[in-house]
Amino acid sequence: NAGVTQTPKFQVLKTGQSMTLQCAQDMNHNSMYWYRQDPGMGLRLIYYSASEGTTDKGEVPNGYNVSRLNKREFSLRLESAAPSQTSVYFCASSAVGNTEAFFGQGTRLTVV
């Protein structure tokens, strides 16, 4: 049982380049999330999708776009990467209601 799978695990981008972080879950969860984690800042919510076909901004959405491709997949796109987007990105998913979220293994992104 894979759970939540993120690709890639590591990525180095140059300033201005674009890329898409992929996330897929096989737990039939309705809700999916993208977080970034920076030293001393904890986990900050970028975007979330309560259900297939819906997306909402979190605490730090600027510079990012998301797509809920289907129930399994939720991607995060950086259109023009900036050094301030250097971070560890986590995708997570949860079932309907007030249930816990399960995390992927993370993507370590460096923008130079």
Partner 1 sequence: QKEVEQNSGPLSVPEGAIASLNCTYSDRGSQSFFWYRQYSGKSPELIMSIYSNGDKEDGRFTAQLNKASQYVSLLIRDSQPSDSATYLCAVRGNSGYALNFGKGTSLLVTP
User: Of residues 21-50, which lie at the interface with partner 1 (CB under 8 A)?
Assistant: 31, 33, 35, 40-45, 48, 50
With respect to partner 1, which residue has the nearer C-beta, 6 or 85? 6
108, 9 contact by CB (below 8 A) = yes
* 85 phi/psi in degrees, rounded to 5: -95, 5
CA 21 to chain centre: 7
User: Of residues 71-100, which lie at the interface with partner 1 (CB under 8 A)?
Assistant: 90, 92, 94, 97-100
Query: Is residue 53 a contact residue for partner 1 (CB under 8 A)?
Result: no
With respect to partner 1, which residue has the nearer C-beta, 18 or 105? 105
> In whole angstroms, what is the distance from residue 11 CA to residue 2 CA?
22
Q: Which residue in 59, 82, 83, 112 binds partner 1 (CB under 8 A)?
A: 59
In the numeric block, the tokens 């894979």 are attached to 2
> In whole angstroms, what is the distance from residue 34 CA to residue 57 CA?
10
What's the half-sphere exposure (Cβ side, CA atoms, 13 Å) at 8?
A: 9
Query: With CB under 8 A, what is the number of residues at the site for partner 1?
Result: 27
Footprint of partner 1 on this chain (CB under 8 A)? 31, 33, 35, 40-45, 48, 50, 56, 58-59, 90, 92, 94, 97-106
